[in-house]
């Protein structure tokens, strides 16, 4: 059954409903997420896209209950995994969720991995926490198997390496191995191909897809790269300034984007069929500060189609099937 704000008719594995997050800062209260809603079922792939500062990574941290404390707080809404609320779950009880149920690939493997610990120690820590090894021999065998699964050559030798001894692509594979150590039902990949060259990006995306198919694992891709979304995602949620402004099946969204922001993102992608040396279309202006969000539609100050109502009134969410749109001037 589809609830208001959800994106899918499939049985829900994870449901995020009207999620709001705020941070207490020296400059005041920053409203980072405002009424974010989406869902994902087993084996599905959802892309969350938008510019830097739109709230994509904060959404993933909220799902994992890893918001910086005490400044970051969930101020409204709910996050449910198989119908059970994660928002009301005691902090210590989240250890049974992180890893065994939800794994996460964090941004920038070089900073996410501990630079002074060998790969074997970091894998062993994750495996021990998730009960995937009962002694050193079991943990060693499981660590080697995980590195083999993510395509690292000579995995037994790589266990003794430090992160700085590995290439960017190899470090990213180690991060994926750690995220998979608990055999999760859902993998959150936060910018998994950032700072990697195109060839390595393709390898990492292919690796995640093959592991997903093998394990029937749901995947949330958080990215600003629409090329990644087009390649791997079944559904897309477009986020702007802490709100999801449009969501649809990937094929629908790319064929017929409705929201002016979505249109701007797609138009700014370099295309081979354009005249050479022509200026690349851009979206003028910047994402607003979470400390000073505009009233009404948050994209209105940058939108060429905005009218008076856009600046004053928050648009309601239109829904047709699994497609959603939050705009005064566009319609489904």
Q: What CA–CA distances, in Å, run from 274 to 224, 228, 278?
A: 22, 21, 8
Tell me the average pLDDT across 8-31: 87
Tell me the average pLDDT across 17-44: 95
Q: Which domains does the chain have, with CATH numbers?
A: 1-95+187-195+215-273+280-332 (3.40.50.300)
Distance, in Å, from the CA atom of 289 to the CA atom of 298, rounded to the nearest integer, reads 10
Q: Using an 8 Å Cβ cutoff, are 190 and 52 in contact?
A: no
- Model pLDDT for residues 64-111, shown as the tens digit of each residue: 999 999 999 999 999 999 999 999 999 889 988 999 999 999 887 778
Confidence grade of residue 133 (pLDDT, cut at 50, 70, 90): low
Tell me the average pLDDT across 185-202: 87
Q: What pLDDT shows up at residue 281?
A: 85
Q: What pLDDT shows up at residue 132?
A: 67
Indicate the average pLDDT of the chain: 90
Distance, in Å, from the CA atom of 52 to the CA atom of 41, rounded to the nearest integer, reads 26
Is cis: bond before 70, omega within 30 of 0? yes
């Amino acid at each position: 059954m589809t609830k208001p704000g959800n994106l899918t008719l499939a049985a829900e594995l994870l449901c995020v409903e009207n999620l709001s997050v705020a941070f207490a800062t020296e400059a005041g209260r920053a409203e980072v997420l405002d009424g974010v809603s989406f869902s994902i079922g087993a084996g599905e792939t959802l892309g969350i896209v938008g510019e830097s500062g739109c709230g994509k990574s904060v959404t993933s941290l909220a799902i994992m209950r890893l918001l910086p404390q005490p400044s970051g707080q969930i101020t409204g809404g709910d996050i449910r995994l198989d119908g059970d609320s994660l928002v009301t779950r005691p902090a210590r009880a989240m250890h049974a969720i992180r890893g065994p149920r939800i794994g996460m690939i964090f941004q920038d493997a070089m900073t996410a991995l501990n630079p002074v610990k060998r790969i074997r120690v970091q894998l062993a820590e994750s495996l021990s926490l998730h009960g995937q090894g009962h002694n050193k021999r079991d943990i060693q065998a499981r660590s080697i198997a995980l590195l083999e699964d993510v395509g690292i050559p000579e995995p037994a030798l790589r266990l003794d390496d430090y992160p700085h001894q590995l290439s960017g692509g190899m470090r990213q594979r180690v991060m994926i191995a750690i995220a998979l150590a608990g055999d999760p039902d859902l993998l959150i990949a936060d910018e998994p191909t950032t700072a990697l060259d195109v060839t390595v990006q393709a390898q990492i995306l292919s690796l995640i897809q093959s592991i997903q198919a093998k394990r029937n694992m749901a995947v949330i891709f958080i990215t600003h790269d629409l090329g990644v979304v087009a390649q791997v995602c079944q559904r897309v949620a477009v986020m702007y300034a802490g709100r999801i402004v449009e969501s649809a099946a990937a094929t629908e969204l790319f064929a017929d984007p409705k929201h002016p922001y979505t249109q701007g993102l797609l138009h700014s992608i370099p295309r081979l069929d354009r005249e050479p040396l022509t200026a690349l279309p851009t979206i003028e202006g910047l994402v607003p500060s979470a400390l000073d969000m505009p009233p009404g539609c948050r994209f209105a100050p940058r939108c060429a189609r905005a009218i008076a109502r856009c600046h004053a009134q928050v648009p309601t969410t239109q829904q047709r099937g699994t497609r959603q749109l939050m705009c005064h001037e566009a319609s489904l």
